[in-house]
Chain A
Amino acid sequence: MIIYISVMITVLVSASASEVAQLPFVISGYVFYENGSPAYNPDVTITNLNTSKTFSTKTCTSSNYYLAKPVLLSREINKNDVLQFKVAAGEKSAVLEYRITASDMVYHGLHLNITLGEGGGGEAEEETTSTGTGGGGKQTLTPSVTPTLTPSVPSQEASLSPVITPTPATATQAGKAISTPTLTPNTPLPHEKGKKKIPGFEAVFTIAGTGLLAIAYLIVKMRKGKRG
């Protein structure tokens, strides 16, 4: 009985203490276009892919700044959670993923600058807070995914819309921004414009033409011989 009461008291005390655990986790940053110019009034939505909880952000028309609002509670974020950032500004958009690091948990925050790339790609740059007295160090987080263009893709769809998928090895790198460009219709490059041709057609045509020319040459030569 005494043990039961002790356990209950412990549980109640623990419950009370856990109610206290209201610690902030601040997510903020700036959004840029690829040319470095600020992407004003960005639309940023953050989703914790581990909990599927979505967090809205506050932005303003005169700035490229975003702030997760209401401020997250630290209990909503755990180390190694993957946050998905859906970012749109103007006609550009990107979807980035970021894995929460131990450092982020220490500082109870994340300052992530996002650059919107061409074709829906994105790049994230975290202003880390873990540098020493020098301060202000930046850890550039380039997309950790090496774009994997499916090699034996003869299909038309594949050649028009390359699918970039993170490889397992790179996707699990903690603290790296994972670039997953949105699928947008790709326009053919200038040198690709025009009809698609069958490979080897020119060679056959050339051989056939050369043969015809040789035959014509022999016929002409035979006729000259008869006249002579």
Chain B
Amino acid sequence: MVVFGIGMTLAVLAVFTAPAVAQNIVYFDPDPGSAAPGETITVTLWLNATDGIASFNDNIHFDPEVVNITSGTPGDFPAMWLFEHYETGVRVGGMSSDYLDLPPGRHKLATFTLVANNSGTSTLYHSDHKLSDYKGVLKSATWYNATFLCTETFSKSLTKGWNLVSLPLNPMPGKNHTSEVFGTVYYDAVYRYDATSHTFVDVTEGTIEPGVGYYVHVASPSTWIYNGTPYDEMEVPLERGLNMIGWLNCSKSISDALSSIAGNYNYVARWNSSLQEFEVYVPGAPFNDFNTMEQGKGYFISAKDGCPPLTESCGA
């Protein structure tokens, strides 16, 4: 019993007195990086070293539809510099200028030039990576992937009074606060509609998201401008009765747009902000006020009982 107690005490002491395991970290900055199609940005690959490091190698992969890394220049490891395209990525590597260890601390591994191709999101992820000291001993590290956003800019005129809108673009990460998305709009109230409680919810001081319709009360005519990546796929559950939904970053005829809920809704309505009155589409009716779902607009859908989710994509 005594032996067991002593053993336990020693074990606990060992845990508390063991030095923290040093961790080398490799990361991109900025993360996420973003640019509009055709634009270029510079992204730096950094090393926060807790060991002496003399060389590194890395393969960085990306979605070429969205972005391309066109060049890489060395930082603190310029010797034997390597930068070449490799399958769906680039292969980079280098050594310290004197082939000896750089001391623990922050070191620049490389600086890359990224060109945005098409709207979308691409992960920049690592493979076959390694850090080693001057003896060639591998050093463990955490390699953080990054995100690149090829963003679009959405612009829409909003009239004074109520406007029924939706977000055709996913806001930039961490930029989904109402005040950021509607940063260019002179608004004094933003509401969404809760289809379950049948009440409006004040999100003036909250966050907003695509797929949802929002009533924005504009105090003075404004141009709504914001950046983001295309919202081009949706799956929105519909409650029995009235739902206030958003739409994608494209225009589609209503028959196509709502094919996933055909026969399960009574009508679609939108708000004409100029006339400050509703316009309506009733399926099968000989005449309607509108026939297309358009980006940036919000809609009311009167869904029947058992209506399936509204699923649609811009590509379909």
Show the binding face of A for B, using Cβ within 8 Å.
16-17, 19-24, 26, 28, 58, 60, 62-63, 65, 67, 70-71, 73, 106-109, 111, 129-133, 135-136
Distance (Å) between the CB of A23 and the closest chain B CB? 6
Within 8 A of A (CB), among B258-316: 263-264, 266-267, 269, 271, 275, 277-280, 282, 285-287, 300, 302, 304-306
Q: What are 28 of the A-B contact pairs (CB < 8 Å)?
A: A16-B189, A17-B202, A19-B217, A20-B200, A20-B217, A21-B200, A22-B162, A22-B215, A22-B271, A23-B193, A23-B300, A24-B267, A24-B280, A26-B269, A26-B280, A28-B282, A28-B285, A60-B286, A60-B287, A67-B282, A70-B278, A106-B242, A108-B242, A109-B266, A130-B305, A131-B304, A135-B264, A136-B263
Q: Is the CB of A135 within 8 A of B280?
A: no
In the bound complex, CA of A124 to CA of B271 (Å): 30
The residue of chain A having its C-beta at the shortest distance from the C-beta of B263 within the complex is A135
CB-CB contacts below 8 Å: B155-199 with A: 162, 189, 191, 193
Chain B residues with Cβ below 8 Å from A28 are 267, 282, 285
Q: A26-B269, A60-B286 are in contact. Are A20 and B162 (CB under 8 A)?
A: yes
Given contacts A67-B282, A107-B241, contact A26 B304 (CB under 8 A): no
Q: How large, as a class, is the contact surface on chain B?
A: 20 to 34
Least CB distance from A134 to B in Å reads 9
Q: A24-B300, A65-B287, A67-B280 are in contact. Are A131 and B305 (CB under 8 A)?
A: yes
Contact for B287 among A63, A70, A73, A109, CB less than 8 A: A63
User: What is the interface of chain B mostly: helix, strand, loop, or mixed?
Assistant: strand
B139 interfacial contact with A, CB 8 Å:
no
**Which single residue of chain A is at the shortest CB-CB distance from B285?**
A65
| CB <8 Å contact, A109 and B302 | yes
Within the complex, which residue of A58, A63, A73, A107 is in contact with B266, where a contact is CB–CB below 8 Å? A107
Asked if B264 contacts A109 (CB within 8 A), the reply is: no
A173→B275 CA distance, assembly (Å): 37
Interface centre among A24, A108, A132, A136 (most CB of B within 10 A): A24
CB contacts (< 8 Å) of A73 on chain B: these are 278
In contact, B279 and A71 (Cβ under 8 angstroms):
yes
Inter-chain contact A58/B215, CB cutoff 8 Å: no
B106 in contact (CB, < 8 A): no
- The verdict on B107 contacting chain A, using a C-beta distance below 8 Å, is no
Residues on A with beta carbons closer than 8 Å to the beta carbon of B275: 70
Chain A residues positioned under 8 Å from B300 (CB to CB): 23-24, 108
B126 at the A interface (CB under 8 A)? no
Chain A residues with CB under 8 A of B217:
19-20
B240 interface residue, CB < 8 Å from A?
Answer: yes
Residues on A with C-beta less than 8 A from B189 are: 16, 20
Query: Which residue of chain B has its CB nearest to the CB of A17?
Result: B200
Expressed in whole angstroms, the Cα–Cα distance for A26 and B241 within the complex equals 12
| A26 touching B282, Cβ below 8 Å | yes
